[in-house]
Each structure stands twice: as structure tokens, then as C-alpha cells.
Amino acid sequence: MSTADNYNGVDMRGEVVLLTRNVKVIGDDTDSWGGQIVVSDNIENSGVKRSGQLTLDHVEVYNCSQMNTFRSAIRFEGVNNLTQVVRNVAVHGSLSWSISSQFSSNVLIEDSAFIGARQIGLHVLTS
């Protein structure tokens, strides 16, 4: 509900986001490297095609990614065959982007919070 009528047109609202979850991925900050979750499709030397798939639901991701790079906490690179789902996820304390999608498709992100990243929370390149 807007508070603009009570404060001369200024809408003063805030949001509360629960960052903690029962399932946690916590990166260890060693030389500005944290943990990373990486999903990609791959063709092996034998010609066998491997399709990566990720479903994260109600997971906390903390202190992940690599500082000053495109290596985000959750990263999709060249994923095109299967649907990727990031739902009800809290990513915070990232050293770089919180989530990145490069040359990928079928990535569903919903009802998630990306807080405290050093750079823009979401990075999308040709996806």
C-alpha cells in the first residue's frame, strides 16, 4: 500500500527478504575466489553429447563467484537443450555477478533474490 498520501507524495516502502535457507552453498573466499555453480552442454571427443541441467529451489548461495570476472555465483554457459530452473533462491555476498547466462536458452529465474553483488546482479550475454 502506497504511503504517498501521508508523506507529501513520497512513497516510503521497504521489503524484507529472508536470505537463509536449509540448503546452503557457501564459497570459501581464498584469494577472491568463491564457490561457483556452472552448467553447460558439452560434446566429448567421442562425439557423445552431454546436456547439463540445473534445478535449484529454496537454496541459499553465499560468498560465491570470482572477483572482477564474469565467473558468477550461478553460471549458465552454452546450455540450450534442457530447461534450467532457479526458483526461490537467495544469492548474496557475491564477489562478482550473482547469476550469469551466456549463449544459453530456456533459463527460468523466478521468485529469487540477488543481493550484495559487487557488480550488476544479473549478467546476460547472447541468451
> Any idea where the domains of the chain sit in the sequence?
26-125
Q: Which of 3, 11, 2, 15 is nearest to 115 (CA)?
A: 15
pLDDT at 117: 78
Q: What is the pLDDT of residues 11-30, one digit of tens each?
A: 777 767 777 788 999 888 77
pLDDT for 120 beyond 70:
no
DSSP state string for 28-50: --BTTB-B-EEEE-EE-TTS-EE
pLDDT for 78 beyond 80:
yes
What does the CA dihedral 63, 89, 43, 125 come to, rounded to 10 degrees? -80
pLDDT at 119: 66
pLDDT at 104: 94
Cα distance between residue 125 and residue 19, in whole Å? 27
State pTM to two decimals. 0.79
pLDDT > 90: percent of the chain:
46
pLDDT at 76: 95
Mean pLDDT of the residues in the chain = 86
